[in-house]
Chains A and B, each alone.
Chain A
Amino acid sequence: MKKVHYMDDEVIGSESPQGRDASLFKPSKSEINLYQRHVEDILSDSAYKPDGEKISLRNLLDISPTLSEAASAIIDDSFTRCFKSNQTEPWNWNIYLFPLWCLGVIVRYGILFPIRLVLLTLGWIIFLGLFLPVHFGIKNHEEVRKTIERGLVEFICSVFVASWTGVVRYHGPRPSRRAKQIFVANHTSMIDFIILEQMTAFAVIMQKHPGWVGLLQTTVLESLGCIWFDRTESKDRSIVAQKLKRHVECEDSNPLLIFPEGTCVNNEYTVMFKKGAFELDCTVCPIAIKYNKIFVDAFWNSKKQSFTMHLIGLMTSWAVVCDVWYLEPQTLKLGETPIEFAERVREMIANRAGIKKVPWDGYLKYYRPSIKLTEKKQQKFADALVSRLGDSVDWR
């Protein structure tokens, strides 16, 4: 039988001597508390309304508020909405537009796609042809090697972006390299990384993927100083946390890019930011990314599609249009907790990109909510009952 994973399975007892390091990516107790409070805000009390001294049969049998909450969640809930790709209205439904659309399909699949594929292949050949010798060849001049590698990565990312005819508008001052500085952005697809990378060679922290993407991750991207984690590997966490600390302290390393949502969301909503990125005692530079769905929906639903299929989908559409805003760097304010800091930055990004916020943790995609939330509701209910029973009942 498949094991069900709950959000706080490992929180209790996972406090390492360093405290916060171990729980960098798993929700910590304080995150769960914040999350609980949010959830209670949106879930109305399963109210047990006393209407007199004694408990009447009527009150006992009336479970309609609880049932309504459940039915309401089944019919529509804000978490599932974050991962829904909206079907676009078909516009090719009449006799004039349909042939036009067919022509468009022929052009996109028959002409554009092969050209783009050739372009991409050429780009890769050039890239590997230069990267591999530089990476393995230049042993003594670290500075030079790193500069060339950065330039090459920016090049191959530009090739990728060109291969889907990416029309990207960048707003705001370009990121600079400084120590004690990290960048955070909202996350819609892996292509977020490529789009940002073509401007600046970031080092990124990402989930390790299988297949050819994973291979790329461990070879090319490692040279940029990228850090990998495995969501399912719990021991990994403290190692990753330490790597992060070392990276931001080093002046030379590439600017670090983190996607604090922890998962891809459909670019209409943002889920809660994980506080890990905001506890590193660094300046946080927010980046907002908004895709224009006019030609294609750039949301990558990793449960529905492999990355390859996603890329092919992009390469057979007319263009990928998006806006990137580099926002003003923020630091932790006096008296502000990391969670509040994360929320403040999320608010900035959501406002700039024009997307809505929901109080859910992105990891609920993979885990069930903590049982403690149900227990909280049960406790409220029980307390209301007990206060009504008082001394009117013989317990013995």
Chain B
Amino acid sequence: MGNTSSMLTQYDIEDVENHCSQRFTQREIVSLYQRFCALDRSGKGYISGDEFMSVPEFAVNPLSQRLLGILEGLNFKEFVAVLSAFSPLATINDKLDFIFRVYDIRNNGKVSSEDMIRVLRDLSGDFLTDKQRQAVVTQALEESGYSKDYSLTPEDFLKVLSNGGLKMDVEVPID
């Protein structure tokens, strides 16, 4: 998959399709590639943080910095694999894995109350005090029967979030 050419071969498309476990169709992959090339203005083969931030709708999102940590510097194949969590064909597990990844910034397989407070901070900015954030997290944990110092595992995530209602499907426009 040449970094500078804007052409994908059928082989490339199938390779990417397999890598994202068929969560995107081939047409969607072609469309995503056009988008990737449009964002990667200098043709380096990956999208830099700056280039992501040049999309105004992305830049105003409170979680943009966290997502940059996950998305920047990825080549096209990895980019599609990461975004495949948002495909309507993705399983609940795919989506939960993604959400877990956003929370688990230290990548240690567990989401502590500290991690939750940090995400809450991104979402609420300076409009909540540290005390309020701590109170929110503590109340939420205790209300679900966990202690306030408990660190959530992926299995806990599955238990808490699996009964439907996750709105995490994004449509890829196909011209």
Interface residues of A (CB under 8 A from B): 2, 39, 42-43, 46, 54-80, 84, 303-304, 360, 364-365, 368-369, 373-375, 377-379, 381-383, 385-386, 389, 392-395
Contacts and interface: CB of A to CB of B under 8 A. Distances in A.
Contact of A70 (B64, B125, B161): B64
Contacts of B167: 64-65, 68
Given A69-B57, A74-B83, 12 more contacts: A55-B139, A55-B140, A63-B119, A67-B67, A71-B83, A77-B58, A374-B60, A374-B61, A378-B124, A379-B125, A382-B127, A383-B127
Contacts of A65: 167
Contacts, number: 178
B35 A67 contact: no
Contacts of B137: 60
A64 B53 contact: no
A63 B41 contact: no
Contact of B62 (A75, A304, A365, A374): A374
A377 B59 CA distance: 12
Given A70-B67, A303-B41, A386-B128, A56 B143 contact: yes
A378 B127 contact: yes
A196 B124 CA distance: 50
Nearest to B34: A87
Contact of B170 (A42, A71, A369, A378): A71
B123 A63 contact: yes
Nearest to B166: A64
B56 A70 contact: no
B57 A73 contact: yes
Contacts of A66: 61-63, 123
A65 B165 CA distance: 10
Contacts of A46: 62, 123
Given A43-B57, A43-B60, A46-B123, A392 B41 contact: no
A42 B57 CA distance: 9
Interface centre among B54, B103, B137 (most CB of A within 10 A): B54
A68 B170 contact: yes
A50 B39 CA distance: 36
A271 to B, nearest CB: 11
A299 to B, nearest CB: 14
A227 B173 CA distance: 42
B38 A56 contact: no
A55 B128 CA distance: 15
Interface centre among A42, A57, A63, A71 (most CB of B within 10 A): A57
B55 A77 contact: yes
B57 A68 contact: no
Nearest to B129: A395
12 contacts: A43-B57, A56-B144, A57-B141, A62-B99, A63-B119, A72-B170, A74-B35, A75-B173, A76-B172, A304-B41, A385-B136, A386-B128
Nearest to A59: B140
Contacts of A54: 139, 143
Given A379-B127, A395-B131, A64 B32 contact: no
A93 to B, nearest CB: 13
B99 A64 contact: yes
Contacts of A2: 50
Contacts of A71: 83, 86, 168, 170
